[in-house]
């Protein structure tokens, strides 16, 4: 399954891209993250949340969207 | 989420003081309003290890952020007796001394605006995916963390 | 009361939105400020027995009021970590929709400005000898009472 | 002793003047007020505070200034 991954802020500096489409056979967010951690080892010690369908989801959620976003700590305002 | 439309809260670059003055002026025809309260976030020239911040560059998950701003707006209207509310946030480069966040709440009565203003600002800080990159005078940077 | 001078807080007539915008602009050179909070009191077109307020005419015990404003300013600087504070109040006629009170507080940090703003406004309402005469469209009037 | 009395807001509508100088032999604020109540009976049922030397004083204070002010409820802002 193709999944678009969006990276923001500090995370986009690590991945050197704002988004990418990768093929996954994994079914949970944490399994997807494990793949991304292997691709980008520096991601592992970073603090971030995951949004699916524009809502923050827990890491044991099932992947149900075609796009997820990795969001570092918010610092608006 | 009620019948209010999702607005685009973002503005490219700093929010001009003139724009704020004009926003205030637009409310003078609303004669049921008795109290306005405004919050402005301004970029500080913070120092870190002898280097000084010269600007913050803001990025956001814009689609998600506008939905979150909208939800905050709806929740605030439910919690407080407000006549109107406006939120503007910068994207891109905002230099020190410039304004990056403008929150404007109005109500018939003053007690409401104080509580509503603080609520909106704290909700924005906590829930909206906006990311500030503090840029130092030597072009190095660090990612801002809200306290 | 410290070494700050007693200022004249009063302005003749309404406070213009342009004046507020200009006040904000003047703070953009102060790069230790991270947060501003502003309160604006606006004259409401209240109805009473079928008559509508068209303006409020403000008078004050000016000398005493300026001393009280000064004391409020000093107390607020002692209680909160503020970079600066400005207070302007109208005297004379202010029409509905126009602004009669402008309170502006600034601080390095946002938490301070919310508390300071509410404190200043409540202190003004309680302690400053200003008197508002609500003038109806038929030129009759009643004396305003703060709630 | 000459004492200048200042009236504000609603009170000045009752007295038809903003200030006046009257001669008093009374020594406390409440005694002065009693004289004013007799001069302006409508003052009696009005709610107001008295300021002496630009500070609110209680009604049993001794008159120590040459000027006092009668202040109806504040309604600034």
| pLDDT of res. C147 | 74
CB atoms within 10 A of CB B6: 13
Report the residue of B64, B123, B128 to disrupt the A interface, i.e. the one with the largest count of A CBs within 10 Å. Answer: B64
Write the CB contacts of C100 (distance below 8 Å, at least 6 apart in sequence): C14, C15, C41, C42, C43, C56, C58, C89, C90, C94, C132, D77
pLDDT score of B4 more than 80:
no
The whole model's pTM is what? Answer: 0.95
| pLDDT of res. B3 | 56
Q: What is the mean pLDDT of residues D38-67?
A: 95
Cβ distance C53 to C46 under 8 Å?
yes
Cβ distance C59 to C91 under 8 Å?
yes
In this structure, what DSSP letter does residue B143 have?
A: E
Write the CB contacts of D6 (distance below 8 Å, at least 6 apart in sequence): C61, D18, D19, D67, D68, D69, D70
pLDDT score of B91 more than 70:
yes
Domain extents for chain B? 10-143
Tell me if chain A has a CB within 8 Å of the CB of B146. Answer: yes
Q: What is the mean pLDDT of residues D64-75?
A: 96
Closest-CA residue to C41 (of C125, C99, C95): C99
| pLDDT of res. D26 | 87
ipTM score of the complex? Answer: 0.94
Are residues B143 and A6, on separate chains, in Cβ contact within 8 Å? no
Residues of chain D in contact with residue C61, where contact means CB-CB under 8 angstroms, are: 6, 8, 51, 69, 71
Cβ distance C100 to C89 under 8 Å?
yes
Are residues B64 and A74, on separate chains, in Cβ contact within 8 Å? no
Question: Rounded to the nearest 5°, which phi and psi values hold at D76?
Answer: -75, 170
Write the CB contacts of A63 (distance below 8 Å, at least 6 apart in sequence): A1, A3, A24, A26, A27, A28, A29, A32, A52
| pLDDT of res. C120 | 98
Are residues C131 and D76, on separate chains, in Cβ contact within 8 Å? yes
Cβ distance C19 to C90 under 8 Å?
no
Tell me if chain D has a CB within 8 Å of the CB of C131. Answer: yes
A55: nearest CA partner in chain B: B64
CB atoms within 10 A of CB D54: 16
pLDDT score of A62 more than 70:
yes
| pLDDT of res. A26 | 87
Beta-bridged to residue B72, according to DSSP, are: none
User: Which residue positions in chain C have pLDDT lower than 50?
Assistant: 1
pLDDT score of B1 more than 80:
no
Concatenated DSSP letters of B77-96: HHHS--SEEEEEEEEEEEET
Q: Report the distance separating Cα B91 and Cα A53, nearest Å.
A: 22
Q: What is the mean pLDDT of residues A64-69?
A: 94
Burial class (CB in 10 A: 0-12, 13-18, 19+), B103: buried
Torsion of CA A54, A59, A65, A66, to 10 degrees: 100
Are residues B131 and A77, on separate chains, in Cβ contact within 8 Å? no
Pick the CATH number of B10-143 from 3.30.700.30, 3.90.1170.40, 1.10.8.870, 3.40.50.720: 3.90.1170.40
Q: How far is CA D33 from the centre of its chain?
A: 6
Are residues C37 and B37, on separate chains, in Cβ contact within 8 Å? yes
pLDDT score of B45 more than 90:
yes
Q: What is the mean pLDDT of residues D24-32?
A: 93
Q: What is the pLDDT of residues A13-57, one digit of tens each?
A: 999 999 999 999 989 999 999 999 999 999 999 999 999 999 999
pLDDT score of D52 more than 90:
yes
Tell me if chain C has a CB within 8 Å of the CB of B97. Answer: yes
Closest-CA residue to C47 (of C137, C132, C125): C137
Q: How long is chain A?
A: 77
| pLDDT of res. C1 | 44
Residue B5 pLDDT level (bands cut at 50, 70, 90)? confident
Pick the CATH number of A2-71 from 2.40.30.20, 3.40.50.300, 3.30.365.10, 3.10.20.30: 3.10.20.30
Of C3 and A65, which is predicted with more confidence?
A: A65
Q: Report the distance separating Cα D70 and Cα A32, nearest Å.
A: 76
Six-digit token string for B145: 């963390």
In this structure, what DSSP letter does residue C41 have?
A: E
């Amino acid at each position: 399954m193709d999944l678009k991954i969006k990276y923001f802020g500090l995370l986009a500096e690590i991945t050197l891209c704002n988004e990418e489409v990768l093929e996954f056979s994994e079914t949970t967010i944490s399994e997807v993250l494990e793949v991304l951690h292997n691709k980008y080892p520096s991601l592992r010690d970073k603090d971030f949340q995951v949004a699916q369908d524009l809502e923050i989801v827990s890491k044991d959620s099932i992947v149900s969207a075609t796009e997820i976003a990795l969001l570092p700590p918010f610092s608006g305002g | 989420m009620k019948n209010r439309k999702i607005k685009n809260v973002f503005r490219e670059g700093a929010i001009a003081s003139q724009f704020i003055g004009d926003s205030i002026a637009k409310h003078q025809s609303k004669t049921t309003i008795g109290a306005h309260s405004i919050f402005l976030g301004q970029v500080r020239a913070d120092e870190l290890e002898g280097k000084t911040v010269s600007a913050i560059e803001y990025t956001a998950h814009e689609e998600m952020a506008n939905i979150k701003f909208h939800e905050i707006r709806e929740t605030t209207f439910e919690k407080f007796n407000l006549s109107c509310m406006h939120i503007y946030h910068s994207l891109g480069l905002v230099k020190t001394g410039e304004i990056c966040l403008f929150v404007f709440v109005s109500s018939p009565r003053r007690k409401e605006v104080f509580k509503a203003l603080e609520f909106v600002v704290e909700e924005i800080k906590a829930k909206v995916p906006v990311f500030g990159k503090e840029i130092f005078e030597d072009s190095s940077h660090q990612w801002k963390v809200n306290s």
